[in-house]
A and B are shown apart, each in its own frame.
Chain A
């Protein structure tokens, strides 16, 4: 590669920024965190014309204010000169409104060009946009663009090359004239020396001062002498803030678009689909049905990879026997069979699900359904400090917590995403739902219905309390604001870009979760390993601390099954039935996870060994325990935080034991 340039993508939500990023970088992308921040950093790269380009997908929402870490990171990144060129995206079908980002950017000193995205949609609406005219007024390259049109990319690459080469910058004269009309602007502007904060023009800084931008004010306070800063404070006192500067920005946009855009007057009404989604009675039902259908649909693309997971498991028998035949030590064979092969079987099944969920959720996001979901559940989820979208991961978690955690990636605020995952863990998954009614009906007959109801109520209370416990730290009070969001028009999905994105995320998930799953499964296996069949470290510990676990209503057999349920809920019953039958702990777990049925005499063993209060305690402990090792890995993958993942695990372990304690003692009162 001869040389390398960095290009930054800047645009409002729904401007098609992610689609462009995925289309440009494909599998060559990486998601991490901005240094020292809880904001996701999306980077990628591509090669064009023998030159490598790094692409940064800048985070943020509708402007470059100090409202969120995302926006501050974005503007600081641009001002630092880290990008050779900034590609600003606007939506041609809503050009006036979506050019606000350009207006808010104007005054940051970096080369840029403007991409009028979705030009096909605008054309369909009868809007005629003269890009050349806009280009003349702005002084930077302006190109119409449509992500579905192959020719668009040629123009894009050409413009990009030219913009990097010429370092094209915005013409600010007309905009600064608009600002002159604001009361206080001149005074503040004159007090800020040009170049006092590198990368930002005095005009830009003066406007932010008038908008009462805390970050800019603090920086200026350090950069200018105390007397000047006092005068700045004085001058901004009478300012009308963002309302006045926002008015100027739109007046400038109108000036730019004047003569450049011809549009027919159109009347607006909700589409049929939107009339259903926004219906005050049926809206929620429609959303839940949509998510459930999406969940079912996500199994279809998931199946091939899940098949690979089962195929990996089928290798276990031949590999094990082959290893025996060459005289490999048993310990090694067991590690290969029960840890490595077993783990890769989980991993592939998990990848299948991640693939399916990412594809379907990504699709819902891209076509615009996700915004409707946010709208419908804004009120309900707002009470938990979350966005309306958070309802999706919760619904998915009824099937599989890992899917819920993977689905939480549609939530664009890190704190809310972690909180969503933390709450999703409280939703009993499919494997728990298979176990709860079975155990309940053995012990409580028709009373099982009551147990299921109690579990559901506990789940709601758990989520509410967990939102209080973690919410204060994850979602700051000033970040809890009402929805101000665009409901974008429905868009046709860009399949190619979507697939590349999904493949990229699946690949990344594979590398990240493999070590977590191998590690946890390895430790669990080592602790359960017993050379002579029936003990092992975990069994010894279980026996030793039985006096303590009995306080929580769990004799050692139930306690060990509870421990196993943290690795995989499917294994819980197998472990119980083996331990009461005198079988081996580790083997029983592995077999149960591979789908072996419970012992035929399960009912009798349980009824003769376990009391009703103990059974109740176990059901609660197992249900609200850590969901499984795969959910753990997915949580780590999505939060990028070992610290928060560990916190959530510790919290769930403690809470599940408390719930078991309560259930046990209530049970003792009843029976």
Chain B
């Protein structure tokens, strides 16, 4: 599933990231890489998705999130 589909207050682990060169470099430079755990803090329509990862609250444009594939963690 894509990161934008993860419900609020759920955790997920990034499986893969797809997109153009610019997107890949920007998303890794803010700390989101495969294997990295993210908590979805806020996921409202028409707003960027808020995730918490590597001690950081990160706002991600909803459309760009579609390139981030994750696996939800239940625990």
User: What is the interface of chain A, defined by CB distance below 8 A to chain B?
Assistant: 61-63, 65, 67, 93-97, 100, 104, 211-214, 241-243, 245-247, 249-250, 268-270, 278, 280, 283, 371, 374-376, 378-379, 382, 478, 481-489
Contacts and interface: CB of A to CB of B under 8 A. Distances in A.
A379 B46 contact: yes
Contacts of A65: 22, 25-26, 29
B19 to A, nearest CB: 9
A270 B44 CA distance: 15
B56 interface: yes
Given A94-B55, A241-B24, A270-B41, A482 B48 contact: yes
A61 B25 CA distance: 12
B25 A93 contact: no
Contacts of A483: 48, 59-61
Interface string B23-34: 111111111011
Contacts of B24: 211, 241-243, 246
Contacts of A245: 28
Interface residues of B, number: 39
A482 B63 contact: yes
Contacts of B33: 243, 246-247, 250
B66 to A, nearest CB: 10
Contact of A63 (B25, B50, B55, B61): B25
Nearest to A212: B21
Given A62-B29, A478-B22, A487 B44 contact: no
A11 to B, nearest CB: 13
A211 B26 CA distance: 11
B55 A487 contact: no
A482 B47 contact: no
A96 B29 contact: no
A67 B56 contact: no
Contact of A211 (B16, B25, B46): B25
A213 B25 CA distance: 9
A481 B64 contact: yes
A268 B39 contact: yes
- Name the prevailing secondary structure of the B interface residues: mixed
Contacts of A104: 29
B17 interface: yes
A280 B35 CA distance: 30
Nearest to B17: A243
A484 B22 contact: no
B73 to A, nearest CB: 14
14 contacts: A62-B26, A63-B26, A65-B25, A65-B26, A67-B25, A94-B56, A96-B31, A242-B25, A268-B52, A278-B50, A280-B44, A280-B45, A375-B59, A484-B64
B10 interface: no
Contact of A486 (B39, B46, B58, B62): B58
A586 B55 CA distance: 62
A487 B50 contact: yes
B42 interface: yes
Contact of B47 (A211, A213, A379): A379
Given A246-B28, A484-B27, A211 B21 contact: yes
Given A242-B24, A243-B34, A280 B54 contact: no
B58 A484 contact: yes
Contacts of B64: 481-482, 484
B59 A485 contact: yes
Contacts of B1: none
B29 A481 contact: no
Given A241-B21, A375-B48, A376-B47, 4 more contacts: A100-B30, A378-B59, A379-B47, A485-B59
Contacts of B47: 278, 280, 283, 375-376, 378-379
A104 B30 CA distance: 12
A533 B63 CA distance: 65
B56 A97 contact: yes
Contacts of B48: 375, 378-379, 482-483, 485
A247 B21 contact: no
